[in-house]
Homo-oligomer: A and B are copies of this chain.
Amino acid sequence: MEPQNDIDDLPKNPANFTALTPLWFLERAATVHPTRKSVVYESKHYTWQQTYQRCRRLASALSQLSIGPGTAVSVLSPNVPAMYEVHFGVPMTGAVLNCINFRLNPLNVAFILGHAEAALVFVDQQYFALAEEALKIMEEKSEGLFKPPVLIVIGDETCDRAPLEYALSKGVTEYEKLLETGDPEFAWKPPRDEWQSIALGYTSGTTANPKGVLVSHRAAYLMSLNVVLTWGMKEGAVYLWTLPIFHGNGWCFTWSLAALCGTSVMLRQASAKAIYKAIAEHGVTNFCAAPIVLNSIVNAPPEDTILPLPHVVNVNTGGSPPPPPILLAMSQKGFRVTHVYGLSEINGPATVCAWNPNWDSLPFEAQARLNARQGVKCMCLEGLDVLDTKTNQPVPADGKTIGEVVMRGNMVMKGYLKNPKANEEAFANGWFHTEDLAVKHPDNYIEIKDRSKDIIISGGENISSVEVENVLYTHPSVLEASVVARPDKRWGESPCAFVALRSGGDHVSHERKLAEDLMKYCRSKIPSYWVPKSIVFGPLPKSATGKIQKNVLRATAKELGTL
């Protein structure tokens, strides 16, 4: 008889197997650093003990309203303390948190509330009218079957009270009143299964209806640790919320900060001035910002800055590839910029341009160029590659051949809610397909050249809009630049640049000359067919997360007509 070998047979038990969830981080923070500041907003300063109690009150109050597993709870709010608290209080009931971009129009919001089947909506007073309009649309469309979600209004003493008073006059409960109905010692339960959903976020959906990205407790736990590890964040970090929290649950930093027993400094509205002020006042050690926010920091008028910085401030940037000149200017001001790349479907950074000490001795410009690449997979991502879109084979690491970025691992979303077709496409061949186009460099770092839909195809040749933009950004007159395809009789498409000028943008008389200058400048740096054939001056349209809205520009370029 073969001796029994149970080396792999021991079962899981409650002592050695627990569902991975970021919720325990909060309990731990309240135990380890009960009196340390958890959340700071204007004159409101909470401790970890208070935040834990408030989140338990919230979970308790929601449970009393029958909120629990299988239910979505939505929130329309800027970066205020309540926005932090719902990240714990809602999933503590087993429900799924659905953060909604408050810059969407009522029609979009109505679509999301309906698609998510939200049972309750938290609304910051500033966005109460938006929620009301969205609900009205839903009611109109429902043909009498509408069961409206419960509304809870988040008041803000530092703002005009009129919208709050209006909401209260409609009989809506205020957030703080709701908390009062909850038990601060509420015995919340972790999820039974770590695959249970903790969050539902919607893609920006520039072309079609937004898609609902479902994130599991397991993925949120791992991403929370991943951002700390990727960035080397320290215990007790002071984190400034410039990134809107609705955007991918703030890349999971909401939960990471509890893991770090750190402090969240909240801002209703981010601006260069507010950022410099928060660094000086609260000792901010870390913040995340889209390149467009970095641009505003770099170009802030001297009276808005507080320089030199009191200490090195770590900045995580991503969302769109940061132009090297901005990276350069940030370093020169004393910010340490880590470039990461993520997407809604990952709920945080998937890759990081890991700094290579060999770059230390390079000139600043070369460093910025290397650091503008998306880099390598983060510690908690299992697979990353760039595949030829036709053959599905990895592209050579030659820095030239373009393919699609694909990923595999535990931080990838569960899938899109009620969208089997999109799921099938997104998860084809055992990979998550990002639709971002990139090259792989000989050092294994990837560099995104474009979104699939942003690439310009001129005479059958791919033109990376990002590379043309990077060249434009190095020109001293250019503040912001975005390049899209314009219909072109001869070539099919040709690059059309939209440019915001540094000194304002009202040089109408010089525009023609400036356009010629810029084209000439580009010709000296890139292939002639990459040079924009048309240049439009003026401020650029931006999304809630500060991304330039290429879909809007593409439409404008079409309206300009075929060249």
Contacts and interface: CB of A to CB of B under 8 A. Distances in A.
Interface of A: 3-8, 10, 12-18, 20, 24-25, 28, 31-34, 69-72, 96, 116-117, 190, 195-197, 200, 214, 219, 225, 228-229, 232, 234-236, 259, 261, 354, 356-357, 376-377, 379-380, 382-383, 407-410, 412-415, 417-418, 423, 426-427, 430-432, 444
Contacts of A426: 15
Contacts of A413: 16
Nearest to A377: B28
Contacts of A235: 232, 354
Contact of A10 (B20, B261, B409, B415): B415
A12 B195 contact: yes
Contact of A409 (B18, B25, B383): B18
A410 B232 contact: no
Contacts of A34: 444
A80 to B, nearest CB: 26
B31 A236 contact: no
Given A28-B377, A33-B356, A356-B33, A427 B15 contact: yes
A229 B229 contact: yes
Copies of this chain, tallied across the complex: 2
B15 A432 contact: yes
**3 smallest A-B Cβ distances: which pairs?**
A16-B412, A14-B430, A10-B415
Best-buried of A10, A24, A69, A426 by chain B (most CB within 10 Å): A10
Contact of A376 (B31, B236, B415): B31
A32 B72 contact: no
Nearest to A413: B16
Contacts of A214: 7, 10
Contact of A16 (B71, B116, B117, B427): B427
Contacts of A357: 236
Contacts of A15: 407-408, 412, 426-427, 430-432
A382 B234 contact: no
24 contacts: A6-B417, A7-B96, A8-B70, A12-B195, A14-B430, A15-B412, A16-B408, A16-B410, A16-B413, A16-B415, A16-B427, A18-B382, A18-B410, A25-B379, A28-B376, A28-B379, A31-B444, A32-B376, A190-B382, A225-B225, A225-B379, A229-B229, A235-B354, A259-B379
Contacts of A69: 8
